[in-house]
Amino acid sequence: MDMTEKDKVQAKIDKYWEEYRMQTDKLSGVLRQLAFLEAGAFWIFLYKANEHSIILNIGFLTLILFFASDAIQYYNGFTSASKLAKSSEDKFIEDQGITVSDIAKHPDILEKSKFFFYAKIVLITLSSLILLGYLFHCPNW
């Protein structure tokens, strides 16, 4: 069965959306769980154990940046995919004819989302290293 050009365009959009979901779904869920765990540990050290260390504050700040990056990544991925779909739909409605090559000209559609996805990985790694370093060198434990 031959695909129409509209079906090909929709398939390309679906591919972008699936890539976005694959990047964010499982790994982001695990990273988020780790971030909540670390936030609890930092909270205990900072407030319950009355530890006031600049390194703990930096670790807590990296988690705040992690959660901000997480939210921005999801928002950006959603809006990018929505804009692409709307633009393609408008061109079909106006009978301007859009082709898969038109969509392929925009491989950067998810680049901002990828930036924030990688930023989350870097931030959670940094906060994990800070927490582990603190645990191994904590003077009160």
Per-residue pLDDT of the chain (141 residues; tens, 9 = 90+): 567 777 777 777 777 777 767 766 778 888 999 999 999 998 888 887 676 778 888 999 999 999 999 998 888 877 776 776 666 665 554 555 555 555 555 556 667 778 888 999 999 999 999 999 988 876 554
Q: What pLDDT score was predicted for residue 101? A: 52
Q: Which two tokens stand for residue 73?
A: 């990544």
Domain count for the chain: 1
Determine the structural domain holding residue 14 and report its residue range. Answer: 5-137
- From the list 12, 75, 67, 5, the residue with the least C-alpha distance to 34 is 67
DSSP, collapsed to helix, strand or coil, labels residue 62 as helix
Q: Show Cβ contacts of residue 25 under 8 Å, excluding neighbours closer than 6 positions.
A: none
Please, what is the end-to-end C-alpha distance for the chain in angstroms?
A: 68
Q: What pLDDT score was predicted for residue 86? A: 67
Predicted model pTM = 0.68
The per-residue pLDDT for range 68-108, each reduced to its tens digit, is: 999 988 888 777 767 766 666 655 545 555 555 555 555 56
CB distance 31 to 67 below 8 Å: no
- Taking the C-alpha atoms of residue 108 and residue 115, their distance in angstroms, rounded to an integer, is 11
